Structure 1
Amino acid sequence: MSDSAAAAQQIAEQVRAQMLAHDTVLRTLGITVDAIGPGSARASMTVRADMLNGFAICHGGLVATLADTAFAYACNAYDELTVASGFAMELFAPSHEGDVLTAQANELNKSGRTGVYDIEVRNQRGQRIAAFRGRSYTMKGRPVIGGSPVTRGT
C-alpha cells in the first residue's frame, strides 16, 4: 500500500471511530461497521424478533437503515462532513429473524460536493436482499474527526 493510500485508510479508520462514538442508532439496533476505506464501507446487523413486521419479516425501514449506515460511513471516510441528499432502494427478498444482513457500500462517483454510492444488502447465504443508491452532499471545510456532535450537523 502506498503512503498516500495508507494515510487515506488511516483517516477513514479515524472517521469510523469518531462517528461510532456518537451513533446511538447503531448501538440500539446492533449494527456494526465492519470495514471502512476511502469511498467504501461494510456494515452488518442480525435481524432480531423486535425488528419483524406483521408478516414476520424484517421491516424494510430497518433494511434501509442498515444500507444507509454503510452509505454514511463510506461517504464520510474522507473526513469531510457529508450528508445524504437522497436515496432510492429496491427490496428483492425478505429477511427473517436470525438472518445476518451485510450492506456493502461503494462509491460510484464523487465530483465536487456531490457523490453517488451503490449499496448492496445480502444475507448470510449471499442472497441479495436489497439494492440502495445514495446521493451525497459534502460540506467542504467541515471535518468529521474532532468535530463536535452538536456542530457537525448544523
Structure 2
Amino acid sequence: MTETVTQPDTPTDPQALADAVTQAMWSRDRATQGLGMQLQSVKPGYALIRMVVRGDMVNGHHICHGGFIFTLADSAFAFSCNSYNQNTVASGCSIDFLAPAREGDVLEAEAVERSLSGRTGVYDITVRTLSGKTVALFRGKSYRIKGEVIAGLQQADGQA
C-alpha cells in the first residue's frame, strides 16, 4: 500500500486545497491556457471552465471542431478530479455531441463528480453555450496514481 506524504505547507481546508491545486495545475497547463480557456470555479470534485470559440477552431462545416469541445470538457474533468491534490488521470471517457457551437460562442464546461471510491472516480461534464444550449455531454472515468499535484509542482521548481 502506497502512502501519500503531504507537504507541510499544503492546505488542509478542502476549498483552500482545491484552490492551491488549481494554481499548481494551471501554472503547468499550457494546452488549456493556449486555447484561451478561463477557470471560473473549482471546488472539491467540481470545475467550471469557459472557452470562446475562435475562428481557428471551426471546421469545414463552419462549426466548432469536436476536438476543441472535447478538450474543453477534458480540462474541466482534469481540474475537478485533481482537486483533492492526488495525482489523477483519465482511465477512459466518452462524449456525445448534441448541438453545434459556432464561432464567437462562449462555451462552459461544468464538471461534477458522481462517484469517488478507492482509486477511481466518475465525472459528468456538460458543455453549454452561455445561453444555456447543451452542446455536448462527456463522461470521464478517473484513476488515482502515485504522487500529489502540489508536491509535483514543488519538485518541478526544485523546491522539494
TM-score (norm 1): 0.90
Aligned CA distance change for structure 1 residues 129 and 111 (closer, same or farther; 3 Å): same
Matched, 1:50 2:56: yes
Cα deviation, residue 103, structure 1: 0.3
Of the three residues 138, 147, 150, the one matched with 2:152 is 147
| Residue-by-residue CA offset, 1:63-112 (whole Å, 9 max, x unaligned) | 00000000000000000000000100000000001000000000000000
SS in 1 for 2:99: coil
| Residue-by-residue CA offset, 1:36-82 (whole Å, 9 max, x unaligned) | 01100001100000000001000001000000000000000000000
Dislocated runs of 4+, deviation >2 Å: 148-151
Q: 2:152 is aligned with what amino acid? A: G
Aligned CA distance change for structure 1 residues 124 and 55 (closer, same or farther; 3 Å): same
Identity over aligned pairs, percent: 48
Cα distance in 1 for residues equivalent to 2:29 and 2:102 = 25
**Aligned-CA RMSD value:** 1.5
Q: Is the 8 A contact 2:53 2:103 kept in 1?
A: yes
TM-score (norm 2): 0.87
Q: Is the 8 A contact 1:18 1:146 kept in 2?
A: no
Q: 1:67 is aligned with what amino acid? A: A
Of the three residues 106, 112, 115, the one matched with 1:106 is 112
Cα distance in 1 for residues equivalent to 2:155 and 2:66 = 29
Cα distance in 1 for residues equivalent to 2:133 and 2:59 = 20
Matched, 1:26 2:32: yes
Cα deviation, residue 146, structure 1: 2.8
Of the three residues 128, 138, 141, the one matched with 1:135 is 141
SS in 1 for 2:20: helix
Cα distance in 2 for residues equivalent to 1:124 and 1:37 = 21
Task: Find the counterpart in structure 2 of residue 60 from structure 1.
Answer: 66
Of the three residues 80, 84, 89, the one matched with 1:78 is 84
Structure 1 unaligned residues grouped into runs of 5+: 1-5
Q: Is the 8 A contact 2:24 2:153 kept in 1?
A: no
